[in-house]
Amino acid sequence: MTKPIIHIVAGGPRNLIPDLSLFIDHPVLWAGVDHGVRTIFQAGIAPHVAVGDFDSISKEEWQQIEKKVPAIHKFRPEKDETDMELALLWAVGQTPEKIVIFGATGGRLDHFMANAFLVAAYKQKYPDIMFELIDTNNTISVWLPGMHTIEQDTAKKYVSFIPVFNEVIGLTLSGFKYPLRNHTVPLGSSLCVSNELIRQTGHFSFEKGILMMIRSMD
């Protein structure tokens, strides 16, 4: 059986969320997190599940959710997990191939930082799942040790590598403007920020650590 792809839409700034209607014909499962359910509706998409405490939802919006969303997971505002983590817990339970998150960047920095580190932690726990956070200017993904290949993206030509939690050991970059070979990148280092691919295909590998890759527009 083919593993599903899940798109999670959180309640981040609408102007930073790509046009979700471009994905209407894609075979994905849609999950709305709190106010993100409304964003999915506005794109003309029927969400499969709604998750959160819905404390920012109006009475009319809640009635629409109850009417149009087949699976609703509603929680009390007083809880240990964030709404995003609750959505991720549901998503990984579907044994997906990939989880793409929209509306988790921009706006409140505490929300963004929490979401970024949450995704990194989930990648550690679920190494077979691909995790991405996407907004109009950036694509963020998390990688574990090994050899990886990426394709050139003319829209998001800048590629940055950020160690997460601990240093990254043995980082090698080939096909990049600024190559590296078997380099240790300390936590907090800006060494690997704003690199660029100089070939159609680039490769990166490392031996130990967790690496966040950010592909950005100018």
126 pLDDT exceeds 70?
yes
Distances (CA, A) of 68 to 46, 53, 57, 155, 207: 7, 17, 15, 35, 47
Q: What is the mean pLDDT of residues 214-218?
A: 92
**pLDDT tens per residue across span 153-188:** 989 999 999 999 999 999 999 999 999 999 999 998
**Spatial CB neighbours of 182, under 8 Å, sequence gap ≥ 6:** 170, 171, 172
Give the residue, 209 or 107, on which the prediction is more confident. Answer: 209
The dihedral built from the CA positions of residue 74, 79, 108 and 139, taken in this order, carries a sign that is negative
**pLDDT tens per residue across span 194-208:** 999 999 999 999 999
The pLDDT value recorded for residue 1 is 65
The pLDDT value recorded for residue 179 is 95
Set out the domains of the chain in order of their start, with CATH numbers: 5-136 (3.40.50.10240), 142-216 (2.60.120.320)
Question: What pTM did the predictor assign?
Answer: 0.92
